[in-house]
A and B are shown apart, each in its own frame.
Chain A
Amino acid sequence: MKRIEVVKGEYYDSVTLMLVAKELKKIEGVTDASLNMATEANITIMRAAGFEVDTGLLSPDDLLIGIDYEREGIEDIFERARSYLASPPWKKEEKDTEYSPATLQGALSVLPESNLALISLPGRYAAAEAMKALKNGLNVMLYSDNVTVEDEIELKRFAENNDLIVMGPDCGTAVINGKGLAFSNVCPTGSVGIVAASGTGLQEVMVQLCRRDVGVKHGIGTGGRDVKKSVGGISFLRGIRELAKDPDISLIVAIGKPPAPEVREKILACLKETQKKSVICFMGDDPRKDEDKLFYTTELEECAVVAEALIKGRDVSMARDKLKAEYVKLAEKRSVSAVHGKYVRGLFTGGTLCYEAQYIAQAHINPIYGNAPLREDLKLENSLKPVGHSFIDYGEDEFTQGRLHPMIDPSFRAEQVKQQSEDRSVAVILFDVVLGYGSADNPSFDVVEAIKSVNRETKPIYIAYVCGTDGDPQDLGRQRTLLEEAGVIVCESNARAALLAASLVSRKER
Chain B
Amino acid sequence: MILLYPFQRSADWGNKVEKLTVRSAYRTALNLMDHCGRRYSVLLDPEHYLPRSSLIEAFPPLEVGQEIRVGIDGASVGFDPSQIDGLRDKKLRGLWLEWLEFMDAEELSYLHEAIDEPERLIGLGPGYTPAGDDFLVGWIMALRFTGRKKSLLTIEGEMLDRKTSWFSSEMIKDALEGRFWKRGIEMVSAIADGDATRVLEKTDSITKWGHLSGKAWLAGLAYGLELGE
Q: Report if A101 contacts B (CB, 8 A).
A: yes
* Inter-chain contact total with CB atoms closer than 8 Å: 45
- How many chain A residues have a CB neighbour from B under 8 Å? 16
- In chain B, what residue has the closest Cβ to A97? B204
Q: Is the CB of B207 within 8 A of A106?
A: no
Binds B, one of A107-115, A194-202, A320-328, A450-458: A107-115
Majority DSSP secondary structure for residues of B touching A? helix
Q: Report if B97 contacts A (CB, 8 A).
A: yes
Q: Is the CB of A99 within 8 A of B196?
A: no
Interface members, chain A 53-105 (any B CB < 8 Å):
95, 98-105
Q: Is the CB of A106 within 8 A of B94?
A: yes
Q: Is the CB of A108 within 8 A of B94?
A: yes
Q: Is the CB of B98 within 8 A of A110?
A: no
Q: Is the CB of A110 within 8 A of B97?
A: no
Q: Is the CB of A103 within 8 A of B97?
A: yes
Q: Is the CB of B95 within 8 A of A110?
A: yes
List B contacts of A110 (CB < 8 A): 92, 94-95, 196, 199-200
Q: Report if B101 contacts A (CB, 8 A).
A: yes
Interface members, chain B 91-123 (any A CB < 8 Å):
91-95, 97-98, 101
Q: Is the CB of A99 within 8 A of B203?
A: yes
List B contacts of A108 (CB < 8 A): 94
Known contacts A99-B207, A101-B98; A109/B93 CB under 8 A: yes
Minimum CB–CB distance for B88 against chain A, Å = 15
Interface members, chain B 161-214 (any A CB < 8 Å):
196, 199-201, 203-204, 207-208
Q: Is the CB of B204 within 8 A of A99?
A: yes
Q: Is the CB of A112 within 8 A of B98?
A: no
List A contacts of B97 (CB < 8 A): 103, 105-106
- In chain B, what residue has the closest Cβ to A99? B204
Q: A111's contact among B196, B204, B207, by CB below 8 Å, is which? A: B196
List A contacts of B94 (CB < 8 A): 101, 103-110
- How many chain B residues have a CB neighbour from A under 8 Å? 16
Q: B98's contact among A95, A98, A106, A111, by CB below 8 Å, is which? A: A106
List B contacts of A102 (CB < 8 A): 98, 101
Q: Is the CB of B200 within 8 A of A100?
A: yes
Q: How distant is the Cα of A111 from the Cα of B95 in the complex, in angstroms?
A: 10
Q: Is the CB of B92 within 8 A of A109?
A: yes
Q: Is the CB of A109 within 8 A of B204?
A: no
List B contacts of A99 (CB < 8 A): 200, 203-204, 207
Q: A105's contact among B98, B196, B200, B204, by CB below 8 Å, is which? A: B98
Q: Is the CB of A98 within 8 A of B204?
A: yes
- In chain B, what residue has the closest Cβ to A104? B94
Q: Is the CB of B196 within 8 A of A109?
A: yes
- In chain B, what residue has the closest Cβ to A103? B98
- In chain A, what residue has the closest Cβ to B194? A109
Q: How distant is the Cα of A104 from the Cα of B95 in the complex, in angstroms?
A: 9
List B contacts of A98 (CB < 8 A): 200-201, 204
Given contact pairs A101-B200, A109-B196, A110-B92, a sample of 6 additional A-B residue pairs in the complex whose CB atoms are under 8 Å apart: A98-B200, A101-B98, A102-B98, A102-B101, A105-B97, A106-B94
A selection of 25 A-B contacts at a CB cut-off of 8 Å is A98-B201, A99-B200, A99-B207, A100-B200, A101-B95, A101-B98, A102-B98, A103-B94, A103-B97, A103-B101, A105-B94, A105-B97, A105-B98, A106-B95, A106-B97, A106-B98, A108-B94, A109-B91, A109-B92, A109-B95, A109-B196, A110-B92, A110-B196, A110-B200, A111-B196
